[in-house]
């Protein structure tokens, strides 16, 4: 058995050979003759002459290999009190039928389909059905408000939208159909049909453009797999950037299939017949990669869970899921564990569940604080593996490769770079910093298969956002350092992106909403540390001259505005009216300084500050717990 060091070295010494060998585990319609097309940097293309269908690789090939009766997807929904298991055969049949529905609605290879759904198996079925016919899906997280959905509809210009009548948040039923209607009303692009899954908790009124999921499935002619180029887009996943306009991260097909297929046994130590439970949402990259595609590519069983880790009915649900479904690897965000710890600090709910199947806990999506790491490790007595990646990268950049060998765990570090990822830390001039010194975390180009080839319809923004800061490097947007053993320490974002309960959000987007209020002259939103959600946004507004408002009333209006325009998931609950915002002499708001003070740091006053008195006046508000 090769060691991590040997495997990593092989990937850097001969990337071409390394990834072509990894590609042999995929069923290709036309096998790739070479790994990388690097003729047009920074636009790299993996497996340029390969052709395949990822749905065939995720479903049909396992059925063809005689494993059709094995569980593929387990839907576990404490919020509806239901469970359903799909074998590989059953899932393949459902996906083929829904692919037939889409084809019947005129969806062809290359067309986009927006999926706006709660955590129901039909969301995964819709994704795989798109992949089956070569259509490009774009899943929009159900917690986003109509305006956010509308922006994505206008950018992706889908021919069809797939949705559901409602989602369930704890004990609340959230009707999706009115949100969908509002989004279509706001969008300039008008999609053709909308397929709606009726759920008994709240059935939707159907209009002339609506197609009932169940009725359409009953009439459907199953569709086969359409072969696409490895470089064809599989999906677009929008993610937060610096402004309110989200970035449409494009995922290719062949590179992604190879990378995910490699990561399952080598990182998550999960193979055919074993079970992974990823507690996330299909609206995020973690859900795309490790609820849907990766587990199915390797013939494993994936648990799709509808609910929160706490609340309905209690904070022992993750343990119940592990015990009932024989989960080997549990993957979620640290915030889920902080939520469980808050409800059940002694882990008393663990008793009564047989957790012997669980070998690892994987955590990602935000910084794993050492305290939560320790609590989870002590409670479970298994390796707790922090790992770091992003929507853009599609799979982990830095991890402890449990399936190869378990490296020493250093709390605070997601461990070491995986094969293909040449992670470096640079200072603003582009020079590498010494170990232990913080700087911009970058990846030397080309990145390995699976990483984004570009942004949807926006090569220019791809270059300006990620490739322009340091020539020849991808800018991750995270800051941090390396240590002498090559461990990576990710300390936080260096831009206006924040992570709230593992959800990636843009403070810039929230500022745009607050600035749209008629009484607001200027504003700032910063992410501050929160014991449960990791970070939460705090807003600061300066009113227009002459405006007199009762502060509580105005705050309620502003909070509501952000809920309406971005969604409840923004979690902006705290907005303060202040006399002024600290700025540099050139007029730039000193958000980093504000953040530092709010987090309790002894933040030095920058020499570029315009008026130190403004900052002094703000200090008590920033320090308020
Ligand atoms: N549809 C509609 N509303 C949603 C939603 C969805 N899919 N997801 C979240 N929301 C709402 C919540 O109901 C909440 O509304 P409220 O302000 O009216 O109470 C708001 O958005 C904020 O949600 P969240 O930040 O998730 O807070 P929470 O208190 O509801 O739950 C956790 C906190 C930690 C339990 C939950 O975020 C969690 O389980 N996170 C870990 C797993 C995860 O999803 N990771 C993502 C990436 S790996
Ligand atoms: P997303 O694109 O939603 O997956 O969010 C990616 C961002 O989450 C990264 O750029 C980091 O800021 C943060 N992140 C993800 N995983 C980790 C981790 N293990 N440690 C620290 N930050 C993380």
Torsion of CA 79, 80, 81, 86, to 10 degrees: -110
Question: Best substitution site from 172, 311, 501 to test ligand 1's pocket, by max atoms within 8 Å of Cβ?
Answer: 501
pLDDT of residue 265: 98
Per-residue pLDDT at 312 exceeds 90: no
Distance 571 CA to ligand 1 centre (A): 9
Q: Is 455 helix (H, G, I), strand (E, B) or coil?
A: strand
Task: Pick the residue whose CA is nearest to atom 21 on ligand 2.
Answer: 367
pLDDT value at residue 531? 92
pLDDT of residue 241: 81
- Is the model's pLDDT at 625 over the cut of 80? no
Number of H helices, E strands in the chain: 20, 31
Positive or negative CA dihedral for 611, 616, 617, 622?
A: positive
The mean pLDDT of 324-345, rounded to a whole number, is 97
Q: If we measure between CA atoms, which residue out of 164, 472, 142, 489 comes closest to residue 287?
A: 142
List pLDDT tens digits, range 52-80.
999 999 999 999 999 999 999 999 999 99
pLDDT at res. 604: 82
Ligand 2 atom closest to the CA of 503, numbered from 1: 3
Q: 245: pLDDT confidence band, cut at 50, 70 and 90?
A: confident
Closest of 522, 532, 541, 543 to residue 587, by C-alpha? 522
Residue 600 has pLDDT above 90, yes or no: no
User: pLDDT confidence of 603, banded at 50, 70, 90?
Assistant: confident
For the Cβ of 480 lying below 6 angstroms from any atom of ligand 2, the answer is no
Q: Which ligand is nearest to the CA of 569?
A: 1
pLDDT tens track for 174-224: 999 999 999 999 999 999 999 999 999 999 999 999 999 999 999 999 999
Q: Is the CB of 478 under 6 A from ligand 2?
A: yes
Of all protein residues, the one whose alpha carbon is nearest to atom 40 of ligand 1 is: 336
Q: How far is the CA of 365 from the centre of ligand 2 (A)?
A: 4
What value does the mean pLDDT of the chain take?
A: 96
For 381, the token pair is 């007595």
The binding-site residues of ligand 1, defined as CB within 6 angstroms of any ligand atom, are 142-143, 167, 169, 174, 279-281, 284, 286, 308-310, 332-333, 335-336, 339, 365, 500-503, 533, 568-569, 571
Q: How far apart are CA 595 and CA 466, in angstroms?
A: 24
Q: Which residue's C-alpha comes closest to atom 31 of ligand 1?
A: 308
Residue nearest to ligand 1 atom 42, measured at CA: 280
pLDDT score of 235 more than 80: yes
Q: Going by CA atoms, what residue is nearest to atom 3 of ligand 2? A: 504
Give the position of tokens 């540390």.
Answer: 529
- Please report the atom of ligand 2 found closest to the CA of residue 493: 12
pLDDT confidence band for 304 (50 / 70 / 90) = very high
Asked whether 415 lines ligand 2 (CB < 6 A), one says: no
User: Would you say the CB of residue 466 lies under 6 angstroms from ligand 2?
Assistant: no
Nearest CA to ligand 2 atom 15: 365
Distance 216 CA to ligand 2 centre (A): 39
Answer yes or no: is pLDDT of 390 > 80.
yes
Confidence tier at 290 by pLDDT (50, 70, 90): very high
Q: How far apart are CA 404 and CA 385, in angstroms?
A: 14
Chain position carrying tokens 């980093």: 592
DSSP 68-114: TTSEEEEEEETTTTEEEEEEHHHHHHHHHHHHHHHHHTT--TT-EEE
Residue 540: the pLDDT is 97
Global pTM? 0.96
Nearest ligand to the CA of 173 is: 1
Task: Report which protein residue has its CA nearest ligand 1's atom 1.
Answer: 143
Mean pLDDT of 458-466: 97
Is the shortest distance between the CB of 240 and ligand 2 below 6 Å?
no
Half-sphere exposure of 339 (CA within 13 A, CB side): 20
Q: What was the pLDDT predicted at 254?
A: 98
Structure confidence at residue 386 (pLDDT)? 97
Q: How far is the CA of 489 from the centre of ligand 2 (A)?
A: 12
Atom of ligand 1 nearest to the CA of 532: 34
Give the span between the Cα atoms of 590 and 593, in whole angstroms: 5
Pick the CATH number of 497-623 from 3.30.300.30, 3.40.50.720, 1.10.1740.10, 3.40.30.10: 3.30.300.30
Cβ atoms of 522 and 495 within 8 Å: the answer is no
Q: Is the CB of 493 under 6 A from ligand 2?
A: yes
- Could you read off the pLDDT of 496-519 as tens digits, one per residue? 899 999 999 999 999 999 999 999
Distance 537 CA to ligand 2 centre (A): 16
The pair of three-digit structure tokens given for residue 56, joined into one six-digit string? 């065939």
Which residue do the tokens 């839907």 mark? 75
Percent of the chain surpassing pLDDT 90: 95
Q: Identify the residue whose C-alpha is closest to ligand 2 atom 4.
A: 390
d(CA 271, CA 12): 25
Pocket test for ligand 1, best of 148, 335, 367, 497 (most atoms within 8 A of CB): 335
pLDDT in the model for residue 82: 97
Please tell me if the CB atom of residue 499 comes closer than 6 angstroms to any atom of ligand 2. Answer: yes
What is the C-alpha to C-alpha distance for residues 30 and 46, in angstroms, rounded to an integer?
14
Per-residue pLDDT, averaged over 378-382, amounts to: 97
User: Is the predicted pLDDT of residue 244 greater than 90, yes or no?
Assistant: no
Two tokens, residue 237: 């996943």
Are residues 426 and 291 in contact, defined by beta-carbon separation less than 8 angstroms? no
What is the average pLDDT across 526-552? 94
| Cα of 569 from ligand 1 centre, angstroms | 6
Q: How much is the pLDDT for 361?
A: 98
Domain ranges of the chain: 497-623
Q: Is 414 in the pocket of ligand 2 (CB under 6 A)?
A: yes
Ligand 1 pocket: which of 145, 289, 308 to mutate (most atoms <8 Å of CB)?
308
Q: What is the mean pLDDT of residues 355-378?
A: 96
Q: For 6-29, what is the mean pLDDT?
A: 97
The pLDDT value given to residue 453: 98
Is 80 exceeded by the pLDDT of residue 113? yes
603 alpha carbon – ligand 1 mean position (Å): 32
Q: Given this model, what pLDDT does residue 601 score?
A: 82
Per residue in 152-185, pLDDT (tens digit) is 999 999 999 999 999 999 989 999 999 999 999 9
**332 alpha carbon, closest ligand:** 1
Residue 389's pLDDT band, with cuts at 50, 70 and 90, is very high
Ligand 1 midpoint to CA 135 (Å):
29
CB of 581 closer than 6 A to ligand 2? no
For the chain, percent of residues with pLDDT exceeding 70? 100
6: number of Cβ within 10 Å: 11
**What is the DSSP track for 472-529?**
TEEEEEEEEEE-TTS-EEEEEESSSEEEETTEEEEHHHHHHHHHTSTTEEEEEEEEEE
Is residue 81 left, alpha or beta, with left meaning phi > 0 and alpha meaning psi from -120 to 50?
left
* Whole-number Cα distances in Å, 404 to 177, 298, 400: 46, 16, 9
């Amino acid at each position: 058995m090769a060691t991590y060091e040997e495997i990593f070295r092989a990937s850097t010494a001969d990337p071409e050979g390394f990834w072509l060998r990894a590609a042999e585990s995929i069923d290709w319609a036309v096998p790739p003759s070479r790994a990388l097309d690097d003729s047009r940097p920074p636009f790299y293309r993996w497996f340029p002459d390969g052709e395949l269908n990822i749905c065939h690789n995720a479903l049909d090939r396992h059925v063809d290999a005689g494993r059709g009766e094995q569980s593929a997807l387990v839907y576990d929904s404490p919020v509806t009190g239901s469970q359903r298991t799909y074998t590989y055969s059953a899932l393949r049949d459902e996906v083929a039928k829904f692919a037939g529905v889409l084809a019947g609605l005129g969806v062809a290879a290359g067309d986009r389909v927006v999926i706006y759904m709660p955590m129901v198996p039909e969301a995964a079925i819709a994704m795989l059905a798109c992949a089956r016919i070569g259509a490009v899906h774009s899943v929009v997280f159900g917690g986003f408000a109509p305006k956010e959905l509308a922006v994505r509809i206008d950018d992706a210009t889908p021919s069809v939208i797939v949705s559901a009548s409602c989602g369930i948040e704890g004990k609340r039923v959230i009707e999706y159909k009115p949100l969908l209607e509002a989004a279509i009303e706001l969008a300039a692009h008008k999609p053709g049909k909308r397929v709606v899954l009726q759920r008994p908790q709240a059935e939707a009124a159907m209009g002339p453009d609506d197609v009932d999921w169940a009725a359409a499935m009953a009439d459907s002619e199953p569709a086969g797999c359409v072969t696409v180029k490895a470089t064809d887009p599989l999906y677009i996943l929008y993610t937060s950037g610096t402004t309110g306009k989200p970035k449409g991260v494009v995922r290719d097909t062949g590179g992604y299939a190879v990378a995910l297929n490699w990561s399952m046994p080598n990182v998550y130590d999960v193979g055919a017949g074993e079970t992974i439970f990823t507690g996330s949402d299909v609206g995020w990259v973690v859900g795309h990669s490790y609820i849907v595609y990766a587990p199915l590519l390797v013939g494993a069983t994936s648990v799709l869970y509808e609910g929160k880790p706490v609340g309905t009915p209690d904070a022992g649900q993750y343990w119940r899921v592990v015990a009932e479904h024989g989960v080997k690897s549990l993957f979620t965000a640290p915030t889920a564990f902080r939520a469980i710890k808050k409800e059940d600090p002694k882990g008393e709910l663990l008793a009564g569940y047989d957790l012997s199947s669980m070998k690892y806990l994987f955590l990602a999506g935000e910084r794993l604080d050492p305290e939560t790491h320790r609590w989870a490790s002590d409670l479970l007595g298994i390796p707790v593996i922090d790992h770091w990646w992003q929507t853009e990268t599609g799979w982990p950049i830095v991890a402890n490769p449990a399936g190869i060998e378990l490296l020493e765990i250093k709390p605070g570090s997601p461990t070491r770079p995986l094969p293909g990822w040449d992670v470096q830390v640079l200072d603003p001039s582009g020079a590498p910093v010494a170990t232990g010194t913080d700087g911009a975390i970058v990846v030397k180009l080309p990145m390995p298969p699976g990483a984004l080839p570009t942004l949807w319809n926006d090569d220019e923004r791809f270059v300006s956002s990620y490739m322009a800061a340091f020539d020849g490097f991808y800018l991750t947007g995270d800051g941090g350092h390396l240590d002498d053993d090559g461990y990576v320490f990710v300390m936080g974002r260096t831009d206006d992106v924040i992570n709230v309960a593992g959800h990636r959000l843009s403070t810039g987007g929230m500022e745009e909403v607050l600035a749209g209020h008629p009484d607001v002259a200027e504003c700032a939103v910063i992410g501050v540390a929160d014991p449960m959600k990791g970070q939460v946004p705090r807003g600061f507004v300066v009113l227009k001259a002459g405006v007199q408002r009762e502060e509580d009333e105005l705050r309620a209006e502003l909070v509501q505005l952000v809920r309406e325009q971005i969604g409840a998931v923004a979690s902006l609950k705290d907005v303060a009216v202040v006399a002024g915002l600290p700025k540099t002499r050139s007029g730039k708001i000193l958000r980093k300084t504000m953040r530092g003070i709010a987090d309790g740091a002894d933040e030095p006053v920058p020499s570029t500050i315009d008026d130190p008195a403004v900052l002094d006046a703000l200090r008590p508000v920033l320090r308020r717990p």
